[in-house]
Structure 1
Amino acid sequence: MKTNPGRFFEDYRLGETIVHAVPRTISGGERALYHALYPARHAIASSDEFARACGLAGSPVDELLAFHVVFGKTVPDISLNAVANLGYAEGRWLEPVQAGDTLRSESVVIGLKENSNGKSGVVYVRSRGINQRGAVVIEFVRWVMVKKRDFAMAAPEAVVPQLAKAVAAEALVVPAGLDFTGYDFALAGEPHRWGDYAVGEVIDHVDGVTIEDAEHMLATRAWQNTSKVHFDVRQREDGRRLIYGGHVISLARALSFNGLANAQMIVALNGGAHANPCFAGDTVRAWSEVLGKAPTGAPGVGALRLRLVAVKDGAEPFRLRDDGGKYLPEVLLDLDYWALMPV
């Protein structure tokens, strides 16, 4: 058999390393496409001149663009037969990705746990994106619910990895040369500095974007995310095509510009959950909560820990869960990350 039906839950082995095909060279076209798909406007990822004024060699691609490319390469081996991508942890951006860089991906299986229904299981992997020089530019853990091929096959011993609740502030990697002492707030779009934000503060990002099926399909093809639930409506009993969770992340991050325009670079992904499915026609809105603050050793640079929540219409303002602790049905995304901001 020469074709690849994708892995099922019983095909994974704890500790195995999976090298993913196919390396991809990033061009300025990907940046333009990313900004066309999402209303992304953060200045460092938009302007070479702004990035140079902040001490970088040039404008890196958006951190989430790099994430999508690395993530997409893992899909044929990790989540082609996924029911859903469940969560993230211990993510770090270790080096900015520039146009011209070539990225490849590899993953290590760090956990396996069959579900009680015996029809699927959860696979935990630690994935890395590696550039043409062999440097790791991004790493993250994710866990995915994957179908079983043979329901009668005995389950492996359950191993659930112990994951940090958040990336420690001292483990954040600030890009070499980054310097915000001469930061141009007028060009960046907002006057708000790191010191203007308080832990516990909640920000309504005001705007909304209605998801179109065509945009989602363009995005999944661009990032080479071939998961069947995004391409084939027959994969779900309700006959609806599930929107790629990363598409929702990028939309919400772009919406967060209104209120967090100076949260310029994402440097860590502490945790995240795709709380409920998203479909074409849903209008996505976003709000953020400040969870923490930390200084960095870079001149003029502070780190802000943020919770980014994406909801669809009908959501109660600033409410995540019901009285029983379950995510409300209108909540699509609950993402915890660190970003760099001028002090």
Structure 2
Amino acid sequence: MLDPEQIEHVLADPSLKSFEFVPELKLRDVLAALRDDVGRSPAWRRKRGYGLERLVYEALSREHVQVRPPTPARRGDQLDGAFVLDGRSAICECKWEAKPISSTKLTQFQAKVDRRLVGTIGVFISASGYAEDSHTYLERGHQLNTVLADLDDLTWAFSSEGSFSMMLRGKIQRAAWDGVVYWRDPEIQRALDNARQGRGVIVVTQGPRDEWLLQLFVRAMGEVLGKVFDVPVLAAYGVYQANALANAIAAEVPDGTKVVAVVDGDGASAEDVVAFWQEQSPGVDVIVAEPTIESWFDSGAVLEIAAARQLYSLIFAGEPGAQIRSDLLRRLQQEHAR
């Protein structure tokens, strides 16, 4: 752990501009100190992005990766770092903002990557995650040359089990093999481990809010049936990324495990969406929520909605039928928001 003097230094200057890293200093402890923002000023919080840059630079340096420190904007594109990993050049952007990163900022970073030599990889690290609309950057029409990471990835990378290089290699490999640019390894690996232990369903959806709503749906079914169901729900940020993630998971789960994609119609007919998924993902069950998953929460009797009833039958096969009412879902929403 950090000693009290080191903690005070990090908390006093989250930019870490004058902070001296010593070999005994655990990067995970510095990250934990930066995350502890209770009672801190907006100015303090804004400086954490610089601290994140320093952490990434220190992690790569400790792992003997050829790395270049941040480049000021006055020298061209401002870069939060650049490095060479396994012979591949990469540039890095680190953000620690109050809100999740939008597609606009991802697009701006994509432009920086595109201005580099062909083959350069972009690594975007956001401590605040990614917004619902970030999927517009991830959708078809963009060359995939950028991978995304978040605080969960950094927590694992700075743990005794992982390393920053291992985290990056895993993301680059998944982007190359499966086209998934936001491979959330700890969460996805837990879902795959569950499947290998004989737990039969993994749900993939398009965005973080749908992920949250479907988790509440599963919890509500558990309350109605008097059981606890461990059903992983994974957000992929966009239709095509959901398709890529579902295919990647379906290729690794054992026989008997269902991979279910629950997606919004987004203006397309249910028939067209199902036809797309059947062509692209023959090993995945697809459920089209019309008009949206959120509309389930406005229904007096949720299982009267065909898509919700279909999801129920796939997840809770063999369980007696039980109706979910909207008041239960609303209560769970309120509890979760506290």
TM over 0.5: no
Q: As a proportion of its length, which structure holds more helix?
A: 2
Shorter-chain TM-score: which interval?
A: under 0.3
Q: TM-score, normalised by structure 2?
A: 0.27
Q: Is the radius of gyration larger for structure 1 or structure 2?
A: 2
Q: Whose relative contact order is higher, 1 or 2, with alpha carbons under 8 Å and at least 6 apart?
A: 1
